[in-house]
Structure 1
């Protein structure tokens, strides 16, 4: 068996993946593993020729059994109390994750308090504390009062599934608490002393290193040295992601290499023999791993580094595929479900790319640099080949998880990595001097701050370059597999060298092949096809509807939003709607329609207009006087924030045409697709008293099918529609105001839809959808879809038939409504 550990690790991984789809009972899978072990042992004794097949089956069943055991044992009794307010006693089992607005803790539960009753209980809990001034430490025993819950499954197809993400870490429930009074420290738990010391040292070093830096500089420095990202603002993280240098903020091979480089430099300075490297590197890396967190990337880097160092120390052969496989096997034995962790996948893929593709790319680069001196050509070739190899190996995964490709990644890494080494060196020097006398650290941090500013400015400059980032639709799995198969085949063909001139031939056509495959991988939506697709996006308690036309145009009706999002620019827009559009390959918004100026319908637009080109904005006349100027309006519907008018002004300043629409207006982007504005009427008096009753009511027509979108129209506007005999007849009706009780039966009767969609948030405090509304729709026999229950509701039509799909993880509900059904 060639490189047996590689084959066995692949079998183990295959078993884990099989467990995800078979849901086989862990007992059965482990019994199969035990049988395979006994059979393989007997085969070894008896010398069976096919014994290797039993060994492969052993690792396959072991992966299957351990992964199912991990899933089954991660369901603690705490799940039974989800949805209740409880008092929980537990100890902090990991370093707290401090954010600007909250603190996250990982708790090991010990006791549940209900009145006078105390229940001993176990399980891992994710604690989120808002509005707290105190941060507790690893090992603290806490008593918390809060709401115990399970995260809702992802409602939008392809969206980040927070519930599954936590479950794969063995966390089934979360505890939500607010304020200092909700959490109190009642003692200390039996935490690991070594881990506790490592974290205390880390905090001391971090505080010393950043004492004289600005908040933003300190956040980035802590990210570079320790991988602590909680205090780095969202826009900075976006900049790092779009330029392909985000790995700098995650402790991985680069950081481990710099730590080892520092150790080697110290040993040379002290003139100690090479035999000291392995014994000293082992505790140093182990301590560094504890300090920076047991994440997959740093574990992989540390394990591989130690294996290679000890192999050299003991005079053993060093084989990187075996080393990589052993690192993967050890990590997955610790937690089999880490195979699904994006950081784990990206770390191993990048390492494989550097080690497998790197030599070939280095050779190709050297051939292009023949005119340079050998040492210089070698250095330049390595500098180009390493980031290129890592990028080629991770393109499919980055496209899958983040829907982007960064063409500037290679030059950004070429210039950024040397700066990272300088910043780490200065940071560590400031720490060492600060431990002696803090003003000495301040002197060093003058240079550290300048280096950080230069680093951030450099990365920001790369982000601003034309074409710095290309957003991609989520690639199909078959294309991802084809990409890796192509890389394997290309390297094998180049390495074979059996045909005369093969190397030169490969060097000529390999770039063309890579380019062609890249274009396929981009999965560019060249046209919309022959279907009109309407996506009622699950944005929680709000509205956002994406319309994709057969001609490839994208129309967004409302953008969702949460309280304060018009001011902060972060929330539903950048966390839900933007990723949804990116996954579909939507990179521009042809028409942005804001039905009315309430934040749950327009808050997300602040982020969207910042990150998407918008060709036209259509808004409600709610804030327009007859002369066309905006003003705030207080009414029974609430006060409209001035932030909304600032949003409209910003769009105008950015060159986006902003048009106020009213009944009778029409919008036609292509033949056969038309949007008609049914309400509100444009009256001489101008603004109406309630923004809800000034909602744009729209009818979208495609062939013989139509959709009516009603915004938050309440009784007054509904009566107006009926009195004006508006053409409400439709196939799909978006129920007004999230299914509130203010719904006229006459409106539903005139619309006579085949399907109705209610955009509403789960567990909302408004009582939406109202029982009376649900009963009304049930009496009429309409197919009712709700985003809180069904997730995204996606309706597709060719102008003749309708197909409805829903996006909850419980499965795709597909219903076809044929013309004959009407």
Structure 2
């Protein structure tokens, strides 16, 4: 017995650097992936059923429930016969029950949404008077209204509606699009208004869009919601003495209100990966729960008391921030994330996360298609799977506090980046260091701000002091955002779509593997050195390793040579894998970056709008992403347009707009399609049918074109657009007067907006009619594309009314038409509007930089 104990002790001493301490054994336990697999499968099923419709969902529920009953009966029979149930049968029964429940909930909720006459009203795009209950505060949209004014979005639920001569009740979620009058709408307000219903995309959280044509009339607000509104308004009022950046950031970091934030600061936060700090996320809940847990622990409260305090604090937070679906989701995910970090038990935390996902999907099936939900789950999953382990790896080189601070953003960023590049094809290169630097003050800001919100009704003076104390650290966050956003490659271009997703996933996974292998390599190397020192190894001239106390190994006697050699072999294997993985990681990252870079224009030659030199014609390109754009007209020849898009590095065209059916605007259409993906085609024409060559080309490409009329709008990457002309009443007659007129807004790197009006070949009379149709809401325009290549029949009214900062004339050199006409150039000169011409500059590149229009030519 004594000999065996000594041998065990000796083995433990020799291997102590490679063995895992018993305290970490729960984290090393094998993960139970069954419930996680069920949650993932349930997520995919709900995502599909929410798009499929009520009938499919209820049929799926019947099938799953029937399968569950059959499996349950079979398992009962096996149990009565004394046979083991088996793991597979139990898992199958669990899956059938879960999928049946989710399918049933989705089907019932879909039927509830479209119950009654509301379904027909949405289908026919009816004009209705409605009573709504707001489910969110009004949020300013980055897409302007048709007339250039601000647009506000409100998530709401229709309670009752009237249309077509009847009044009916409903329970249909809608997204309200309103003007500046909707700015004051708050959560839980009861509102009366009117507007046109339009079906939303399948699977959307809202069943329809309501284009409000009337100002909101608030008929009532619940007392509890009104009290919370007063607290939030009082908090914002107390931030007014603070510096501008603090006023913009503090309400967002406290309860998700971004309306006080400037566009410039918002862009800096985005480019440094700090935007998540301004949304009510799991991080806010995590900080609050962590603070309550540490406070309870310092007071020596038992664990159950600490848990009760945490739940109470979280419930108060949800009530103050408002129990919107996103807030409830953040609370659940934050609680799971804190449990993962505090317990260090990945197995239990993964189970909690899976249960949380299933419960949230059962409560709101449309969360399955929301990017915010996806990112929240992925960030929590990163903390659950790699939070504590990544911290352990980093502690091989760094002090523990710094390692813990770095582990959280690394784990979350690696899991979220593949989805983030789908939303915007760029990488926030300095996200991890920016988050690390901001991390020390974020919990202070969050907890102090929440304390101020809680004390504001009772002790306003104390609350004011806390607001000031919470606001000052936000200046540090703003400084980090502004400083890092100005560094080179702060927002590094990346591949778009599925290729970008895979490249980002490969790069992130490779980075984690490399970190883990490097940590293991270092640990094993230290262990080998320690063993060598204890055994006093010497190196013989012939290379054989022996103990200094004996010249040969004695039969039957164990030495440290075996463990040392095994450690050496593992060390060499880890080194081999690391050296094999490193090039793959570098190549994958470079592929994702270089694949997004323009081919001919370097990253220093930035541009927002380009006018291609296509001769006597139009070919305007509006940048919507690193390698994507909107194209408005295609010039007379395919080769010229193709060459211009190649030089600009454009690989994808989201929307091709053919303003009207004249050859100098559609003749080069095939050049746009050459080697590029084109999403949709919008056209204008006075005739009912397209020219044969246009129709043939679009059919060959499998694209169904849509006629552009006033009121159509859309958003693509950096750009948003609105069609101002032609109206349905003005359609027909002159082909030039049927030109599509687009008001386009491009968000630039600095966060400012470049607004341009593209007028096709609109002539003076139709141009005047369009301006009169806008009423008194004449849009503010930075750049005007002068109509009809500067022809005399374009008139000067648009120039005089709009007073743009600059004008663009797309015209051919030495053309036979006398374009641009002296009258047009004289009007521009008279109003001191600089004109940029393709016949003089060639392809014109325009960029809004630091508030000024910078114009260059394509080299």
Q: Does residue 61 of structure 2 align to residue 30 of structure 1?
A: yes
Q: Does residue 208 of structure 2 align to residue 168 of structure 1?
A: no
Counterpart of 2:258 in 1: which secondary structure? coil
Out of 26, 35, 43, the position equivalent to 1:13 is 43
Cα deviation digits, residues 564-604 of structure 1 (max 9, x gap): xxxxxxx99995363599xxxxxxxxxxxxx9xx9955754
Counterpart of 1:123 in 2: which secondary structure? strand
Contact 1:106 1:125 (8 Å CA) reproduced: yes
Please show how residues 398-547 of structure 1 align to structure 2 within 5 Å.
398-428=420-450, 430-431=452-453, 434-435=456-457, 438=460, 440-443=462-465, 445-476=467-498, 480=502, 483=505, 487=509, 491=513, 500-501=570-571, 502-522=573-593, 524-525=595-596, 544=632
Q: Does residue 100 of structure 2 align to residue 78 of structure 1?
A: no
Q: Does residue 217 of structure 2 align to residue 184 of structure 1?
A: yes
Cα deviation digits, residues 655-713 of structure 1 (max 9, x gap): xxxx9664326xxxxxxxxxxx776525566637799xx999999xxxxxxxxxxxxxx
Distance in 1, matches of 2:232 and 2:621, equals 46
Out of 805, 809, 822, the position equivalent to 1:644 is 805
Contact 1:125 1:175 (8 Å CA) reproduced: no
Match of 1:553 in 2: 647
In the TM superposition, residue 608 of structure 1 has moved relative to its aligned partner by 8.1
Out of 132, 135, 142, the position equivalent to 1:90 is 132
Counterpart of 2:201 in 1: which secondary structure? helix
Distance in 2, matches of 1:98 and 1:74, equals 26
Contact 1:106 1:127 (8 Å CA) reproduced: yes
Change (3 A) 1:411 1:478: closer
Distance in 2, matches of 1:197 and 1:548, equals 58
Q: Does residue 266 of structure 2 align to residue 237 of structure 1?
A: yes
In structure 2, runs of 5+ residues without a counterpart are 1-30, 79-84, 142-148, 522-565, 601-613, 625-629, 635-640, 658-710, 722-735, 755-781, 840-859
Please show how residues 619-638 of structure 1 align to structure 2 within 5 Å.
635-637=796-798
Distance in 2, matches of 1:612 and 1:516, equals 36
Out of 303, 309, 325, the position equivalent to 1:280 is 309
Please show how residues 247-262 of structure 1 align to structure 2 within 5 Å.
247-262=276-291
Change (3 A) 1:679 1:70: farther
Q: How many residues were matched structurally?
A: 608
Match of 1:147 in 2: 195
Which stretch has the larger CA shift, 461-470 or 37-46? 37-46
Contact 1:94 1:105 (8 Å CA) reproduced: yes
Contact 1:229 1:249 (8 Å CA) reproduced: yes
Please show how residues 349-748 of structure 1 align to structure 2 within 5 Å.
349-367=378-396, 369=397, 377-428=399-450, 430-431=452-453, 434-435=456-457, 438=460, 440-443=462-465, 445-476=467-498, 480=502, 483=505, 487=509, 491=513, 500-501=570-571, 502-522=573-593, 524-525=595-596, 544=632, 549=643, 552-554=646-648, 575-576=715-716, 578=718, 604=745, 607=748, 635-637=796-798, 639-645=800-806, 662-664=811-813, 681-682=819-820, 687=825
Change (3 A) 1:88 1:269: same
In the TM superposition, residue 45 of structure 1 has moved relative to its aligned partner by 1.1
Distance in 1, matches of 2:347 and 2:649, equals 57
In the TM superposition, residue 552 of structure 1 has moved relative to its aligned partner by 3.2
Distance in 1, matches of 2:100 and 2:342, equals 35
Change (3 A) 1:488 1:198: farther
Contact 1:662 1:681 (8 Å CA) reproduced: yes
Match of 2:176 in 1: 127
Distance in 2, matches of 1:311 and 1:381, equals 17
In the TM superposition, residue 137 of structure 1 has moved relative to its aligned partner by 4.7
In the TM superposition, residue 67 of structure 1 has moved relative to its aligned partner by 4.1
Question: How large is the Cα RMSD of the aligned pairs?
Answer: 5.2
Change (3 A) 1:105 1:605: closer
Counterpart of 1:142 in 2: which secondary structure? strand
In the TM superposition, residue 216 of structure 1 has moved relative to its aligned partner by 5.7
Distance in 2, matches of 1:514 and 1:389, equals 17
Match of 1:46 in 2: 77
Query: Structure 2 length normalisation: TM-score?
Result: 0.59
- Please identify the structure whose Cα radius of gyration is greater: 2
